[in-house]
Amino acid sequence: MPKNGELKKHPATKYALITGCSGLVGSGAVRFFCERDFQIIGIDNNFREYFFGKDASTDWMRRQLEEKYPKQFQHFSIDIRDYLTLEQIFKRFNFELVIHTAAQPSHDWAAREPLTDFSINAVGTSNMLELTRLYAPNSVFIFTSTNKVYGDLPNELPLIELEKRWEIKPTHRYSRGIDETMDIDNSVHSLFGASKVAADVLVQEYGKYFGLKTGVFRGGCLTGPAHSGTMLHGFLAYLVKAIAKGIPYTIFGYKGKQVRDNIHSSDLINAFYHFYQNPRPGEVYNMGGSRHSNVSMLEAIAKIEKLLKKKGNIKYSDDNRTGDHIWYISDVSKFKTHYPNWNYKYDGDQILEELCKSMVDKSYSVKKEEAFVINER
């Protein structure tokens, strides 16, 4: 049995398994589905602290969830690479929903320990899929992938330099955003991107080959106040934190005009819910802020400084990160066509306002002399 103790089975008819349950998307999914009368089995071994340090620990979120949902939420500190321990969970419960968000999420960190990155992202996902096939074949399986599966191909698009951002030519087929037709071959992905490609394709294959109800969501920048942003992952949340705390923040390359689309975690989770209600096996969706919510680095810094009424300690390096996107905006029209009742609740300004308000309300212990070099994601 898992180290946390005996598994408790409740008389509820709906069980969901959520990996990475203390992270940004996983914790939001716990709240969302608890409010819809699910019993949640959450898996999270707080490896985020191992990746990014104590400041990135998600234990605070686990405690919040346990306190808020003591009768609906059970947490287990399990490594998703541990097939046999995972198997005990799957044998015990009849899951009708599996949301797999656990991952090593940083392409910079992946280069430090490539085998760790691949074993978590690819092998861990393979474990989850096979156990779902064996023990919960009728469940809906949702996977959080990434736009990094496209590698640096977006950088080959015809871009125009504007005053504060890069933009694509308005006549280009991707002018409203990059859709799922973009190639994933012949590009620099980073090792993280490659491990996520492996997982992404596996999830598709278990849907197409075995007929499992799998769905792949290739996220842009996922964000929200529940994000334990760090210098290697969670760029928008950490940018707010850096400006609020006076931490030096270094932008890498592209004149600070690189563009990201940002989607609030609650909007993404709501998309999961729509897919759960009417799954399309093996389907892939680009899911980000789209034209509805996107911002360049320079634009984000100006907006945050205005909201916090504080000047950031911003530094700049001409050296861009290998494989980094100059401009990336998701086209979510495929998902909206399949699920026309889904829509955004948050736009970019609302996201920043909430992040800044959350920062003001929270208490962080950050040493003033600590100078982090930020790699925005």
Confidence of residue 342 (pLDDT cuts 50, 70, 90): very high
User: What mean pLDDT is predicted for residues 211-223?
Assistant: 96
Q: What is the identity of the amino acid at 254? A: Y
Task: For residues 144 and 285, give the distance between their C-alpha atoms in angstroms, rounded to a whole number.
Answer: 10
First vs last C-alpha separation in the chain: 37
Q: How far is CA 15 from the centre of its chain?
A: 23
Is 70 exceeded by the pLDDT of residue 311? yes
Position 360 scores a pLDDT of 78
pLDDT value for 376: 31
> For residue 374, what pLDDT band results from cuts at 50, 70 and 90?
very low
Sheet strands (E) in the chain:
15-19, 39-43, 73-76, 97-100, 140-146, 159-161, 166-168, 213-219, 221-223, 249-252, 259-264, 283-287, 294-296, 314-317, 327-328
Q: Which domains can be identified in the chain, with CATH numbers?
A: 15-361 (3.40.50.720)
Pick from 173, 176, 156, 155: which is nearest to 294 by CA? 176
pTM of the model as a whole? 0.91
pLDDT of residue 344 exceeding 80, the answer is yes
Q: Residue holding tokens 């050296």?
A: 319
pLDDT at 324: 85
The model's pLDDT over 173-191, given as tens digits with 9 standing for 90+, comes to 999 999 999 999 999 999 9
pLDDT at 61: 94
Tokens of 232: 């290697």
Region 135-146: mean pLDDT is: 98
Q: What is the pLDDT of residue 55?
A: 80
Q: Over the stretch 79-119, which tens digit does the pLDDT of each residue have? A: 999 999 999 999 999 999 999 999 999 888 999 999 999 99
- Written as six digits, the tokens of 314 are 């911003």
Q: Return the structure tokens found at 131.
A: 């156990």
- Rounded to an integer, the average pLDDT of 138-158 is 97
Contact between 196 and 124 (Cβ < 8 Å): no
The reported pLDDT for the residue numbered 5 is 47
In this prediction, residue 238 has a pLDDT band, given cuts at 50, 70 and 90, of confident
Mean pLDDT of 150-157: 96
**Tokens 């590698």 appear where?**
151
| Higher per-residue pLDDT: 377 or 138 | 138
| Structure confidence at residue 28 (pLDDT) | 97
Average pLDDT over residues 236-251: 91
Task: Give the CB-side neighbour count of residue 189, counting CA atoms within 13 A.
Answer: 18
pLDDT bin (cut points 50, 70, 90) of residue 56 is confident
